[in-house]
Amino acid sequence: MTDIKRFDTDHRMSQAVVHGNTVYLAGQCGTAHAPIQTQTREALSKIDHHLATVGTDKAQLLSVTIWLSSIADYDAVNAVWDAWVAPGTAPARSCGEVQIGGEGYNIEIICTAALS
Amino acid sequence: MTDIKRFDTDHRMSQAVVHGNTVYLAGQCGTAHAPIQTQTREALSKIDHHLATVGTDKAQLLSVTIWLSSIADYDAVNAVWDAWVAPGTAPARSCGEVQIGGEGYNIEIICTAALS
Amino acid sequence: MTDIKRFDTDHRMSQAVVHGNTVYLAGQCGTAHAPIQTQTREALSKIDHHLATVGTDKAQLLSVTIWLSSIADYDAVNAVWDAWVAPGTAPARSCGEVQIGGEGYNIEIICTAALS
């Protein structure tokens, strides 16, 4: 049996799943209906939190996919993202327009990271 | 050469690709134009099938991305999903609205799992 | 500290990130406003380039996600894709309609590959 460690698990999903030295996070969102900058900061904060829980941090990010409910938010989100990334450690990234489950959610961020 | 094992491979894609102790599945769909609950159950059945083929099962899922052609199906899909997940083993998950190639396909599910 | 190698890194993203014997590529696009076949060929060329940079190639692809700004381009993109895939090595794949950041970009391709 492979060793899998799950964190913040309910009947639907885990917020973080560790397999070997890789961690997969559930899509992270901010507060519904908040301004996009706020939602972005909150989603990134949750990522920081979940990465810390499994013993790693944002400098160990491998791959990130960002879903925006409106691609018009692209520049605003990038400004918050660019300031958050640990210099020299930016992950592979993609960012596209995808409607998100639940009303008022305008950003969801999906990450894979290495354990430090 | 890294050891990669592919399953159900044609000129366009493989339904499952094993690398080390991780398996990546192609996006799985149900029958076009069927009710969303049926399409969801069928897609999950195909996931069960492909995971069994490579020697693992749904309790070893790591990360899942669900695409819905209409986010209005979110609750209906979740009801089927929640009943399918092996208790205590829910993967990291994200679910958003993405149009799918081919007419009448309303859900596509993309998975990464560990080998058991 | 896990050994992570990054390639073509700026303040926002890396074009390729190697962790263990897996490489994650940033979403690859072609020239904005070019015909979809051209954009597809260019994106696939960039994938060839980045995979070569890290010492692997398209026959080692594990998982690919394709975003199209219009799912109506599905058949045109598949024709280019099918001709590009190394016979017998097709990865797990998914393809859906997602609007892409920046005007005139009609395809973005996100890959994970094994190191050879």
Query: Nearest-CA distance from A87 to chain B in Å?
Result: 27
With a cut of 90, say whether residue C109 has pLDDT above it: yes
Per the structure, the complete domain to which residue A39 belongs is given by 4-114
Q: Which residues on chain C are in Cβ contact (under 8 Å) with A62?
A: 4, 17, 19, 24
- pLDDT given at position C116: 74
CB contact under 8 Å between A93 and C13, yes or no, is: yes
User: Averaged over A104-114, what is the pLDDT?
Assistant: 98
pLDDT band at residue A1, thresholds of 50, 70 and 90?
low
Non-local CB neighbours of C92 within 8 Å, separated by 6+ positions = B13, B14, B15, B16, B17, B24, B25, B26, C62, C63, C64
- pLDDT given at position B102: 86
Please count the residue pairs, one from chain A and one from chain B, whose beta carbons lie less than 8 angstroms apart.
82
With a cut of 80, say whether residue A112 has pLDDT above it: yes
Helix (H), strand (E) at residue C52: helix C36-53
CB contact under 8 Å between B24 and C65, yes or no, is: no
Whether A19 contacts B86, CB under 8 Å: no
Q: Which of A21, A87, A90 sits opposite C13 (nearest CB)?
A: A90
Instruction: Identify residue C81 by its one-letter amino acid code.
Output: W
Q: Which of B16, B19, B108 sits opposite C96 (nearest CB)?
A: B108
Task: Dump pLDDT digits (tens) for C61-101.
Answer: 999 999 999 999 999 999 999 999 999 999 999 999 999 98
Contact partners for chain A, using 3 or more CB pairs closer than 8 A, are B, C
DSSP type of residue A11: S
Residue C53 vs residues A35, A63, C47, C61: alpha-carbon distances, Å = 40, 18, 10, 14
Task: Dump pLDDT digits (tens) for A70-91.
Answer: 999 999 999 999 999 999 999 9
With a cut of 90, say whether residue C102 has pLDDT above it: no
Query: Nearest-CA distance from A33 to chain B in Å?
Result: 17
Task: Dump pLDDT digits (tens) for A20-57.
Answer: 999 999 999 999 999 999 999 999 999 999 999 999 99
Q: What is the CATH number of the domain that holds C26?
A: 3.30.1330.40
With a cut of 70, say whether residue C20 has pLDDT above it: yes
- Overall number of domains in chain A: 1
CB contact under 8 Å between B13 and C60, yes or no, is: no
Rounded to a whole number of angstroms, the distance between the first and last alpha carbons of chain B is 23
